[in-house]
Structures are given as C-alpha cells and as structure tokens.
Amino acid sequence: MNRKNDQAMMSTEGAFRADLLKPDRSRSEPLYRQIVQRLRDAIEQGLLRPGARVASARTLASELGVARATVELAYGQLAGEGYLLARGQAGTVVSPRLPPRAPARADRGIPRSPPTLAPIGAPPPFQLGIPALDAFPRKLWARLAARRIRATTIADMNYGDPAGYAPLREAIAAYLRVSRGVACSPAQVFVTAGHRASLALVSRALLAPNDQAWVEEPGYPPTREVLRGEGLRVVSVPVDAQGLQVADARRRAPGAKLAVVTPSHQSPLGYSMSMARRLELLAWAQHAKAWIVEDDYDGEYRYAGHPLPALKSLDGQDRVLYAGTFSKVLHPGLALAYLVVPEPLVGRCTQAAGVASNGCPQLAQAIVSDFLQEGHFARHIKKMRLLYARRRTMLATELQRAFGEAVHVELRGGGMHLIARFEGLGSDTAMSRRAQAAGLHCRALSERYAGKQALEGLLMGFTNIASQAEAHRLVAKLRDALVVV
C-alpha cells in the first residue's frame, strides 16, 4: 500500500483528517492515550465508520511525528476495546460490529448521545487468542473491583510506578516461581501494556538501531512489526518440529543481538522447543552476548502432562527475558502484560520504562494483584485448562465429521487454537476469505510467513465454543462457506 492511499484511508467522505489525531506534547497524558481518545472520539462521532480502513502504524506515526510503537500501542488498546479490527496483510479497520451512525439531528441544539459499541456477547467464531470470556468469573471480578474502588485513596489517584504496581509485581514473581520455574525478584518484573509494549521496552533498553533480531518463521506478525518500528533489522528463521533452527539462524545473521521465540507453544505451529534446541539457543546467546525474549503467551494451557518449564528456568547466564501476558489467561480488555528481566538489566529497563510512559492504570493492576494473591488465578487456570481441552475436542470432532478425509486436524500438546488442513478446497488464503465473509474468523497459516515458502492450513480458535451443538453449527456454516458447488 503506498503512502498516498494510506493517507486517504484515514478519511471517510472527507470528514476526517489524520492531523486531528496529533497529540499535545505539553500535556502530561501519554501520547498513545491521547491518540486512543482522539480515534475513539472519531469513531463514536461517525467520522470513521464501521469497516473504514485506518492508516498503517508506520504512516500515522510519520504524520503525527511520534514513534511507530506509540501508534501500535494505541491501535492495540482500541482493538482490545472492540473499536478496531486487525486483518493481517489487509490492514486495520474500524470494527464492522459497531452499530451504524445515527443520522444527524436537524436541531443541533438538542444533545445527541454518542453511539455506543454494539453488544458483542461472544467473540467472533474461531477468533484467535481470545480466552473463554463466557467462563470468566465476572461476579468475583466485580466484587474485587468494587472493594478496590471503595478503598481508593488520594495516593491511588496519582501516577504509579512506570515499572508497575508493587504488589502485582510481587504476586507475578511468586506465581512464576511456582508455576513456570522462573526464579526472580519483584524488582525484575515490569508490568507493561501488552506484548508490543514489552518488546518495545526491550528494544529501547538493550538494542541499537540496525541491530539484527531473529524471529520465528512462521511467527506472530506483531513481533516483526514492533521490532521493525524500533529500527531493528528483522531476520526470519525457519521453525521445525524442534523449534527455531539455531544453526540456520547463525548462518543467516551471525551478528544478531536478539532472538524472539515461543518455546513452550510455537506460534502458530504449536511445537514445543526441544531441550537440545533450548540449550543450543542459550549457548549462542552467551557466546554472542545477545538477548533472548521468551514469549510465553499461552504456556499455561497444556493438555497432556504438566506445563513445560520455561526456557528462562534454564538460563544460568542472564541472557533470557521472559514475557507473559494476562490477555490470554484473563481477558484482553485489561491490556496488561509483564516482562521479567535479568537482575543486571533492572536499572536500564527501569530508566527505559520511565521515559516511555507513566505506567499502566493502577486500578486494573490492583485488581489483578488481588486475583493472584487470593488464589483465584491458580483456580481459574486449572478450570480453563480442563475447559479448553473439552472445547478443542468438540471442534476437532465436528471438523472430522463434516469434512471426513478432506481435512486433517493437527492437535499439539497445548495452546488456544488448532490447525486444520483441507484437501481440494483451494488455497488457505482463499478459504480464509470465504470463511470471513461468512462471519467466521479463521486465519490462513500461510499469512504468518514473511517469505514465499509457506505451509497452508486454517488457524481456528476454539476457546469460545460453548457446546457441542455450537461446534456443530459453526462447522456446518464453515462447510457451506468452503465447499463451492
């Protein structure tokens, strides 16, 4: 997409200009929050309508004179709130699920209530990366939130620590020690606004422009986007059944200073990195004086045996930074994640965190802290692990029943999605388009590759399929969309 067209897409019938989003640097409010509010207002006022494409983060960042990561952070928050919808290579659009804007009133003196988000209920069928929102303990959460709000003090209304709310950092450190084998102090834990913010923090604190970074091929597209936005040179490295091919990576980019990997459950293929590859990767990092970011986005969800120990638990040389998120285990509306850094990096990361933002909202952090410290989190994870195993089986069974030998369903040891490979129904990108036209948010596996050599299949989330009957209905709808008579 060229720059001219990208700029045009920030306008809806000439009613909206990108310069209206320009943040006020004299204000204490973080730049990304100002962009969030301006975009939210533009959407609610009908200046950006449902389905309208918004500019790429790169283009908008250039227009506003801010870092690309700032725009990506704003886009990520709006996506979590339901205002924006990311469509991979097709770009980001205003969510089509928003209600159409009501006609303007003839009498401008009569106040008009701004349009609100349409009731979403369950997430779109098969959407990736969204936990089972129907099974979230909302009543318990509401009680914890009400208790915190009633106890609000003047100090709670001030800016918090950019590194995170201290009790939450303590709770995360305690949880990781028991559940993931990661031994760390609370000072090593940094609370961030999501995976993108964690990567941006690593880039600002530890790397220099034009440093090379290894990323998995196939991989998670936002990882590439954030690293490129931070000025790094991204090198895609093939993944096989044992994980990142370290020997290949060393040939492709021997001077790399960073590797971003998903060793517990490779995104999106689902493989677990073998012990041999883990040790090989750690040896490389030590020899090259490089860093490893372990993206443990859904390591809690393993359906055969116990969750695998984190790569960080093997790190005896302080080369691994461990990244986790609450979006996959609680709900994405929190927009909270965390990063565990080696002890020697605490000072550098503290300085970088303070420069980038005023920290995440303290109220949300306090509620999550209570949820962890009172034992609710561990019980919730255990419940979700059993629930997801059942829901995955329901979807796989219905796919096999509907498509027979025309489908091969790949079930790995864990995760929140499965891969379905179809025979004789066209390319996975064509199937994905047909499915999405029918309201089913399947994604093409091939879109997760940066290069031309790509495996094909449909990535399908199963976490929000509530019953066997719903699985049957959705798969029947998918079959109608994919089988062209």
**CA dist., res. 300 & res. 328, Å (int):** 10
Q: Which amino acid is at 468?
A: Q
**CA dist., res. 42 & res. 16, Å (int):** 8
Question: The domain that contains 436 carries what CATH number?
Answer: 3.90.1150.10
367 and 386 share one domain: no
460 and 338 share one domain: no
259 and 324 share one domain: yes
Q: Is residue 113 part of a domain?
A: no
The last residue of a domain, from among 349, 374, 399 = 374
334 and 383 share one domain: no
| Confidence (pTM) | 0.75
Phi/psi of residue 407, nearest 5 degrees: -130, 145
The last residue of a domain, from among 374, 407, 424 = 374
**Which residues sit opposite 460 in a β-bridge?**
418
Question: The domain that contains 68 carries what CATH number?
Answer: 1.10.10.10
The range of the structural domain enclosing residue 455 comes to 379-482
Cross-sheet strand order for the sheet of 458-461: 407-410, 417-422, 458-461, 443-444
Mutual angle of helices 428-437 and 468-482, in 10-degree steps: 120
Q: Is residue 124 part of a domain?
A: no
328 and 204 share one domain: yes
Q: Is residue 59 part of a domain?
A: yes
Tally of helices (H runs) and strands (E runs) in the chain: 15, 15
What residues contact 343, with CB distance under 8 A and at least 6 apart? 185, 187, 188, 318
Kindly state the average pLDDT of the residues 117-138.
79
**CA dist., res. 377 & res. 264, Å (int):** 20
392 and 415 share one domain: yes
41 and 59 share one domain: yes
Task: Give the model confidence (pLDDT) of 320-351 as tens digits.
Answer: 999 999 999 999 999 999 999 999 999 999 99
210 and 231 share one domain: yes
Arithmetic mean of pLDDT over the chain: 87
297 and 318 share one domain: yes
Task: Give the model confidence (pLDDT) of 261-281 as tens digits.
Answer: 999 999 999 999 999 999 999
Residue-level pLDDT at 483: 87
Task: Give the model confidence (pLDDT) of 347-388 as tens digits.
Answer: 999 999 998 888 899 999 999 999 999 999 999 999 999 999
Residue-level pLDDT at 11: 41
**CA dist., res. 146 & res. 142, Å (int):** 6
**Which residues sit opposite 93 in a β-bridge?**
53, 85
299 and 384 share one domain: no
220 and 264 share one domain: yes
Residue-level pLDDT at 71: 85
Nearest Cα to Cα of residue 342 among 274, 288, 290, 401: 290
| SS3 at position 192 | strand
263 and 365 share one domain: yes
| SS3 at position 409 | strand
- Give the count of domains, the chain: 3
Residue with tokens 């030590």: 286
What residues contact 199, with CB distance under 8 A and at least 6 apart? 223, 226, 227, 230, 260, 293, 323
Q: Is residue 108 part of a domain?
A: no
